[in-house]
Amino acid sequence: MEPPVDGARGRVWKFAGAGCAALFAGAYVAAPHSCEWGLSAYFWTGVATLPAMFALPFLLHAGASAGRRFGLAFLLAGLACATWIVGLFAANVRIMCRLF
């Protein structure tokens, strides 16, 4: 049996999971209004989430080495980017509303 994840590493993963879940839920909020304000709101939410996820290991995991923090930062930013794209297509956010 593994010991439960606690301490700074556990906080990083909890905050990252909450951020990705909020970003994914935001796609479903924005999808019905994607032609008015939803697409731009979802885009800027994702733009704000990426640096926030990148900063999490530096803010909450101060005891680790710089290499481990950078690795975790890039991993979390990639996870947020993947969540952002999956949410865009899973919620069926319209990218192009009309041609002309």
Where in the sequence is the domain holding 26, given as residue range(s)?
13-90
6-23 pLDDT tens trace: 576 788 899 999 999 999
pLDDT at 1: 46
How much of the chain, in percent, has pLDDT values that exceed 70?
A: 90
| In a domain? residue 24 | yes
Average pLDDT on 54-78 reads 89
| In a domain? residue 77 | yes
66-90 vs 39-60: helix axis angle to the nearest 10? 160
Query: Residue 53's closest CA among 10, 15, 8, 88?
Result: 15
| In a domain? residue 95 | no
pLDDT at 3: 45
24-51 pLDDT tens trace: 999 999 999 999 999 999 999 999 999 9
- Decide: 25 and 83 in contact? Cβ < 8 Å: no
- Decide: 92 and 28 in contact? Cβ < 8 Å: no
- Decide: 97 and 35 in contact? Cβ < 8 Å: yes
Q: How many domains, in total, are found in the chain? A: 1
